[in-house]
Chains A and B, each alone.
Chain A
C-alpha cells in the first residue's frame, strides 16, 4: 500500500508541475520556476513560526504569498533596469538566504528539517496521513497535490485561450483587451501553489526539474499546445513511476531518481524526436550532402 501512495504522490506532483511547466517553457521563464522554488523557503518558515504547526495550509499560504512577492520583485528590478536573469538571481538568492538565516535563528524552537525541505522525502509521504472524523483518508501530500492538480487543470481549462495567447503573443493579447498582467500573476500563483504542494514529495530544488524537464521534452515532440500539455503530464508521470522503480532497485533518493529518469527521457527526445531529433537532422543533412550533383 505504501508503494502505491508513494507512486501516486509522484505522479500527481509530476502531472501538476508538467501542466504549468509548459507555459513557463513557452514564455522563456523556466528559471522563474527555479527562483520561486527557492524563495518560498522564508514563506514556509514564517508561516511555520506564526502558526506554530506543520499544517499544510498555513505553509501553503505563506509560500504562495512569497512566490508572488518574488515575481513582483523580479519585475520591479527588471523595470529599474536590471537584466531579467540577473534580477531573478538577485531576488531568489536573497530570499533564500533570508530563509536559511531564519531557520538557523529559530532552529532550536522549531522542528523543520532543512534537508527535507530542500531535497524532499517522498518515502515519508505515505505515513503522514490525514484523518477526517476518525477515518483515515490517505496521505496528506496526496490530497494537497490532488487539489493543486485540479486547481491547475481547472484554471488552465477555463482560461485556455487566454493563457495560450499570452504565452505566444502577449502584445496581441494586450491589444485584444486580455488583462495580460492578471494572467501573468495567475500563472505565477499556480506555479507557487504547485511548487509548495510538491515540496514534501520532490523538495524545493527538484521541483524545478519537474517543472521544466518534462515540459521541454514535450516541446520537442509536438507543435500543438494542447498536446504539449498532455505529453508533458504523461512524461512527468512516466518518469515518476520509472524513477520510483529505479530508486528502489538502487536504494537511492526517489526524487533524485525521478529527475534523472526525466533527464534520460529528455535526452531520448532530443536525439530521436520525429520532428526535432538531433540524429534525424544529422542523417538528413548527410543524405542531402550525398544526393546532389
Chain B
C-alpha cells in the first residue's frame, strides 16, 4: 500500500488514476439505466460508430484536437442511434442484427477513411490510432479536466432526471400515459451515452468502453433491488475498477490500463454472481437446500401426524425426499 501512495506523488499517475475513476463512475451510472432498458450493447455499437466521425472531423479540420474529435464522434454516434432505430422500425430486422449492421458498417467505413488518411500522409496516424485503442497512459491534466467536467454534467443530469429515467426504464408505456416526453427522454439518454462513450474511448479504446458500461451495472444489479442504490453502486464499482486497473498497471510493469480495469470489473462481476446475498449463486444454492430440508421435515411431520406407525412414516418421508 505504501508503494501506491508513493506512486500518487507522480502527477502523471494522479491524472491517469483520476481519469479512469471518473470514467468508471460516469459510465457505471449511465450503464445501469442502459442495462435495465436492455440496451447494454448500444454502447458497443456507439463506440465503434464513433470512428468515422473522428476521421471525418480530422479530414475536415486537419487538426488533432480532442474537442473536435469529440464533436465528430458524437455526431456519428447520434447518426448511428437514429440508424438503428430506423432499421428496426421500418423492416423486419431485429435490434441485434441492426446493431451488428450499424456497428460493422460504420467501423468498416471508418477504417477506409483511416487508411485514406494514413496513405495520404497528411496526418500523424499515431494520434488517431491511439484514439481507437485508447491509451490511459497518455491522459494529461487537460484531458482529465475535460473528463471531470463531462462526468459531472452526466451525473448531474442523471440525478436531476432520476425520476423520469426510472419510469422510462421500467415502464415506458406508463411514462407516456403520464404525459412525459418519452421520445425526447429516450434521445437524451442516448445522447448521454454517446458523450460518455466518446470521452471514454480516448482512455480505454473502442472495445473496452462497452465493458465499462455493462459490467459494473450487471454486478450492481446483484446487490440490490432498488434503482437508486444500484446506480450508486454501479458508479462505485466502475470507479473502483478504474482504480484497480491503474494501480496494477503502474505497479506491474508495462501492462495497459484499460484492459486491466475491465478485468478488475469482471473479477468483481464473478464475485457478485457467486456470492451476492439473495441473488448470487451461493445464496440461491443455500436457499434451495434449506427449502428442501424444510419441505422434507414438514412432509415427515405431516406423515407422522397422519399415521400412528411412526417407523413406516419415516421411510415414506425419505422416499419423498429423494423424489
Contact = CB atoms under 8 A, between A and B. Distances in A.
A86 B40 CA distance: 5
B281 A80 contact: yes
A263 B108 contact: yes
B12 to A, nearest CB: 19
A174 interface: no
Interface string B31-52: 0000100111101100010000
A96 interface: yes
A216 B95 CA distance: 12
A101 B111 contact: no
A28 B92 CA distance: 12
A256 B108 contact: yes
A281 interface: yes
Contact of A89 (B116, B211, B263): B211
B263 A253 contact: no
Given A93-B207, A252-B119, A262-B105, A212 B255 contact: no
Contact of B107 (A28, A85, A86, A205): A205
Nearest to B270: A94
- The secondary-structure label for the interface of chain A is helix
A168 B38 CA distance: 23
B97 A85 contact: no
A29 interface: yes
Interface residues of B, number: 58
B93 A96 contact: no
Contacts of A89: 40-41, 43-44, 210-211, 213-215
B296 interface: no
A257 interface: yes
B105 A260 contact: yes
B113 to A, nearest CB: 8
Given A90-B214, A212-B101, A281-B90, A250 B112 contact: yes
A25 interface: yes
A283 B44 CA distance: 35
Interface in A53-72: none
A233 interface: no
A100 B109 CA distance: 24
B69 interface: no
Nearest to B117: A252
Interface string A147-188: 000000000000000000000000000000000000000000
Contact of B112 (A96, A213, A257): A257
A154 to B, nearest CB: 26
Contacts of A251: 115-116, 119
A282 to B, nearest CB: 9
Given A101-B259, A119-B111, 6 more contacts: A85-B40, A90-B266, A206-B108, A212-B104, A216-B97, A220-B93
